[in-house]
Amino acid sequence: MNERLEPIIGVEIVAGDIRLGHTFYEIEVLENFIQEQKQNIFIEIGVHEGGMSYLLIPKLPQVYYVGIELHCDLIRPIVKAMYEQVSHAQLLCMDCFSDLVHSYLYDLKGKIVYCDGGSKAKEILHFKDTLHSGDVIMCHDFYDGKRQVRGVPKENISVEVTPNDTEILDLDVEFERLPEDIFKETRIVGWRKL
């Protein structure tokens, strides 16, 4: 294993040196969810090193995959090359909170916005206004204190989004929470705009 990669429970390593902030099970659940939806655009907010992009882009050729990352110097070269080589993916190296990104996402219909950057709670609030009827918004690192996360002991769960953070979407009559059984044993939560 690469020396720069210390072992962290709940974090996997792909292609030898790309950190993936999800378990392989979470990626499988996410891939299955995307495959079953009618949306043809997937937006990953917070690409980081690119582990999720590296795994999902080749498996979802029917989906236009947009990765947004402020610090693109963090993205591993093999992942950057993948974005450049495939026609169904685009990498935006910019602040996800910029007006330009907000406007770009607003113009896209039939999308799933996946908030996995450094400010997930802020991201779901910021991007909920870009959704149209049928669009989905989701986030990672949600924990309510009760969920079991496959492969991650409770004491190792990194909590970045809590029920207090998601309450605004849970109470918004324009959104419906996606069924918990879809994301059972993961740190993923999501909503569909009605």
Helix segments in the chain, DSSP class H: 24-36, 51-56, 77-85, 99-107, 120-127, 163-170
pLDDT tens digits, residue range 8-51?
556 677 777 788 889 999 999 999 999 999 899 999 999 999 99
Span 170-178, mean pLDDT?
A: 97
Helix segments in 37-187, DSSP class H: 51-56, 77-85, 99-107, 120-127, 163-170
Q: How many Å apart are CA 149 and CA 87, to the nearest integer?
A: 34
pLDDT tens digits, residue range 51-83?
999 999 999 999 999 999 999 999 999 999 999
Span 170-184, mean pLDDT?
A: 96
pLDDT tens digits, residue range 113-160?
999 999 999 999 999 999 999 999 999 999 999 999 998 888 888 889
Sign, Cα dihedral of 168, 186, 32, 11: positive
| Burial classification of residue 107, based on how many CB atoms lie within 10 Å of its CB (0-12 exposed, 13-18 middle, 19 or more buried) | exposed
Instruction: Give residue 29's identity as a one-letter amino acid code.
Output: V
DSSP H or E stretch at residue 32: helix 24-36
Instruction: Give residue 160's identity as a one-letter amino acid code.
Output: E
| CATH fold group of domain 12-193 | Rossmann fold (3.40.50)
